[in-house]
Amino acid sequence: MTTPIRVLAFAGSLRRDSWNKKLVRVAAEGARSAGAETTELDLRDLALPLYDEDLEKASGLPDGAKRFKELMLSHQAILVASPEYNSSISAVLKNAIDWASRAVPGEKALACFEGKVAGLVSASPGPLGGLRGLVTVRSILGNIRVIVVPEQVAVGKAHEAFETDGRMKDAKQADSVRHVGARVAEVARALARV
């Protein structure tokens, strides 16, 4: 029996009732349906300070950054739901990526990212659903050696897209989001066999 692919799922939002947190849970369902083990992470729980090289030099990586790196290293793939802030990536998501990119002594540069498979989704109250922000996320991840699957979903009018229990109202749209999660699991599994 082969070891299942492990997928880390998180949203680039701290808001408790975030549409992107709801959306990444739907994508994680798709990864699980494709046989992956998923871990859902709330970046709020990491309490990451803003990246500051002086802070890093004085006291090393903060505990939240260490925890995030451990999770990244122990998973072969990631699912990211990225809100769009002013046509770009949220500061919370960028900050988490920046902390995880910091190598500790004896660690290969970008160890948390190189060769990982990622899937991107977004939700926004605007008509484009955060699509412009996904362009930036895709660019950042690609530049730090992450394999980003081409499938992605941007959910517009997010304030109308979810039931109170977090399920998506539009079944077809939910299937598309789950497909992103499933595709990430499939690609990561194929790469693990190589």
Q: What is the pLDDT of residues 126-168, one digit of tens each?
A: 999 999 999 999 999 999 999 999 999 999 999 999 999 999 9
pLDDT at 1 over 60: no
What pTM does this model have? 0.96
pLDDT in tens, 44-58: 999 999 999 999 999
Q: Give the Å distances, CA to CA, from 74 to 58, 144, 164, 175.
A: 27, 18, 32, 27
Decide if pLDDT at 69 tops 80. yes
pLDDT digits (tens, 9 = 90+) for 7-39: 999 999 999 999 999 999 999 999 999 999 999
SS3 88: strand
Instruction: Indicate the fold that domain 6-193 takes in CATH.
Output: Rossmann fold (3.40.50)
Which strand ranges, in their side-by-side order, compose the sheet holding 117-123? 37-41, 6-11, 77-81, 117-123, 147-155
Average pLDDT of the chain? 96
Q: How confident is the model at residue 194 (pLDDT cuts 50, 70, 90)?
A: low
Q: Supply the pLDDT for residue 193.
A: 83
Among positive and negative, which fits the CA dihedral 127, 25, 187, 82?
Answer: positive
Q: Could you tell me if 9 and 27 are in contact, meaning their C-beta atoms sit under 8 angstroms apart?
A: yes
Using one digit for the tens of pLDDT, what is the confidence trace for 110-123?
999 999 999 999 99
How many angstroms separate the CA atoms of 154 and 131, rounded?
A: 6
Cα angle 138, 148, 46 (rounded to 5 degrees) comes to: 70
**What is the DSSP code (8-state) at residue 124?**
-
Quick one: pLDDT at residue 2? 72
User: What is the number of other CB atoms lying within 10 angstroms of the CB of residue 157?
Assistant: 13
Q: Determine contact, residues 13/83, Cβ cutoff 8 Å.
A: yes
